[in-house]
Amino acid sequence: MTRVKIAAEKIVKRFGLVGDGVTALDGLDLTVPEGQFLCILGPSGCGKSTLLFIAAGLEKATGGAIYVDGKLITGPGRERGMLFQQFALFPWRTARQNIEFGLEIQKIYREERWARTQRWLKIMHLEEFADSFPHQLSGGMQQRVAIARLLINDPDILLMDEPFAALDAQTRALLGEELVRVWQESRRTVLFVTHSVDEAIFLSDRLIIMTKRPGRIKADLVIDLPRPRDPASDDFNILRREVTRLIRSEVSATD
């Protein structure tokens, strides 16, 4: 058993006033071993993105704590990189300038910055678009830039908030495959929030299904299909049916 990378203990998140607000997360416990690709699946508004933002240190939990490598998280840090659904590219920077942002922050010399950026432009098939501004790129291209901008910093943990949700199905599948390829080389710990059952099964080692608000863990599944995975295979289908059933029962549950 590999060591624990992320440990979330009794995470509570409430928005708004006490008694009048919304409880997004209600005492969530979760441990993620190093190198695991964990997908979090759940109905809208179940707090799965909130969990990610708390792990990133961008939002404060109302209660509980998250530890990374045994250290309490109090704010954002470079070792926990994040990918956003809205891509969050800097519109005044070209693709190249976006990708090298993190290196600039680390005050890395121009020559090295150029070389490393060039490498990531190549990996993400962006060489032709290096000098384009984000608005000149398609959604898929923009998210490629964002992925390169994230991975060039070599973070220990990748936090991904529905990063492919705004893309068409084709692009989505393609980027998913590329993400797996890159991940397999580096084996970083990944927390990947998604709405898509197929995406979750395709990507993850482990799949967590959350209850609707207030969010708790409803099911915790190990996905041990051999990679690369074939979404048309029988094993994939069996899992798809099982996961879909679990999600359905949660969405339609009344209380």
Partner 1 sequence: MKAGRRRQHSWFRRRSDTFTESSGSRRQLINGLAPFVVPILVIATWEIAARLGGGNDILLPPPSQVFVALIELIRTGTLFDDITASMMRVAAGYALAVIVAVPIGLVMGYSVVFDRLLTTTVDGLRPIPASAWIPISIILMGIGDRPAIFLVFIGTVWSVILNTSHGVKNVPKHLVWAAQTMGASQGAIFMKVIFPASLPAIFTGLRIAVGIAFTNVIVAELIAVRSGLGYLITEARMLVRTDRVIAGMVAIGAVGFALDVLVRFVMKRMLRWQKGLVTE
Which positions touch partner 1 (CB under 8 A)? 53, 56-58, 75-78, 80-82, 84, 86, 88-93, 101-102, 104-106, 133-135, 149-150, 153, 159
Residue 55 CB, nearest distance to partner 1 (Å)? Answer: 11
β-partners of residue 80 are 157
Residue 164 CB, nearest distance to partner 1 (Å)? Answer: 16
Identity of the residue, 150 or 197, whose beta carbon is nearer to partner 1 in the bound complex: 150
Q: Which of 110, 107, 90 has its CA nearest to residue 99?
A: 90
Strand (E) or helix (H) holding 15: strand 4-15
Virtual CA dihedral for 222, 227, 229, 233, nearest 10 degrees?
-80
Given phi > 0 = left and psi -120 to 50 = alpha, else beta, which region is 85? alpha
- Do β-strands 189-194 and 37-41 pair in parallel, antiparallel, or remain unpaired? parallel
CB burial of 224-249 (b: ≥16 within 10 Å; e: otherwise) equals ebeeebeeeeeebeebbeebeebbee
Identity of the residue, 146 or 210, whose beta carbon is nearer to partner 1 in the bound complex: 146
Residue 89 CB, nearest distance to partner 1 (Å)? Answer: 8
Given phi > 0 = left and psi -120 to 50 = alpha, else beta, which region is 253? beta
Identity of the residue, 77 or 140, whose beta carbon is nearer to partner 1 in the bound complex: 77
Identity of the residue, 81 or 214, whose beta carbon is nearer to partner 1 in the bound complex: 81
Residue 93 CB, nearest distance to partner 1 (Å)? Answer: 8
Residue 246 CB, nearest distance to partner 1 (Å)? Answer: 31
Identity of the residue, 79 or 220, whose beta carbon is nearer to partner 1 in the bound complex: 79
Q: How far is residue 219's CA from residue 146's CA, in Å, rounded to a whole number?
A: 31
Given phi > 0 = left and psi -120 to 50 = alpha, else beta, which region is 74? alpha
Residue 235 CB, nearest distance to partner 1 (Å)? Answer: 35
Identity of the residue, 101 or 236, whose beta carbon is nearer to partner 1 in the bound complex: 101
